[in-house]
Homo-oligomer: A and B are copies of this chain.
Amino acid sequence: MPYTNGMTQESFNSLVTPGTPLETLKTKCATCSMHQLCLPMGLDNNDMDRLDQIIGRRRKVTRGSTLFRIGDSFQNLYAIRLGHFKTYQLNREGGEQITGFQMAGELIGMDAISTDLHHCTAVALEDSEVCEIPFDSLQQLLVDIPALLRHFHRMMSQEITREQSVMLLLGNMQATQRFAAFLVNLSSRYEARGYSPHTFQLRMSREEIGNYLGLTIESISRLLSKFKKEGLLRVNNREVELLDPIRLKAITAGTHSYT
């Protein structure tokens, strides 16, 4: 399997499965190679070092535990080094509305910049690890390193466009399309990270998927069964194999046609 870093799905799983000794990883966020903050920018070594220096402690977050909560005061952004998270808001009755699923390499907490308070809660979907990035320090660095500033703006902007596409999904698409879009999105994100785009674990429950997509758990279950029946994918618990990504993408497209 020709994935960019030669890491197999299995070795990845072994790293993030609960119980695996994470200590075997390097304890420093060496030149940030794992997260998107400096990866695609072409910083020189000096800048890299400075970025490394402001990056705070690594922090392990066990499955189900909370990285930050709605209302917490904002100090840090978090770069996910390992694992998966969900972020959610609360509706007026205390129910969750999941606003996103984040994976290794992604940055969370940017919604808190506006008011210095977190507007969502972030919970680890599996044993995970993050780098704390103290926002005050980061801001000082942004002034000194224009490339970093530009990149940071791109990342915030990317979050805006990501959310816009979720609005499109929730406002415009049928259940079948939504779920297909969800799978295609996961697939492409795994591919971008060098993992198989065809075979991956759903890190979230059916309930969480449904919540995110504005559907019920039963609908998700039915859609999985339907896709299975139509030869679009294989499912085994949370293990998914996409058998016909082309057709899946086509389903994503048609607004009201597909049944």
* Chain B residues, Cβ within 8 Å of A47: none
Which of B146, B164, B255 has a CB less than 8 Å from the CB of A163?
Answer: B164
Report whether over half of chain A's contact residues are helix, strand or loop; otherwise say mixed: helix
A256's closest neighbor in chain B, by CB? B93
* Chain B residues, Cβ within 8 Å of A192: none
Number of residues from A at the complex interface, CB < 8 A: 48
Report A90 CB to chain B, min CB distance, Å: 9
- B157 and A110 contact, CB distance less than 8 A: yes
Binding stretch for chain B, among A4-12, A122-130, A168-176, A194-202? A168-176
The answer to whether A95 and B153 touch (CB under 8 A), given A120-B164, A160-B111, is: no
Which of B111, B163, B255 has a CB less than 8 Å from the CB of A95?
Answer: B255
The answer to whether A89 and B164 touch (CB under 8 A), given A97-B172, A139-B149, A143-B149, is: yes
Q: List residues 135-158 of chain A with CB under 8 A from any CB of chain B.
A: 139, 142-143, 146, 149-150, 153-158
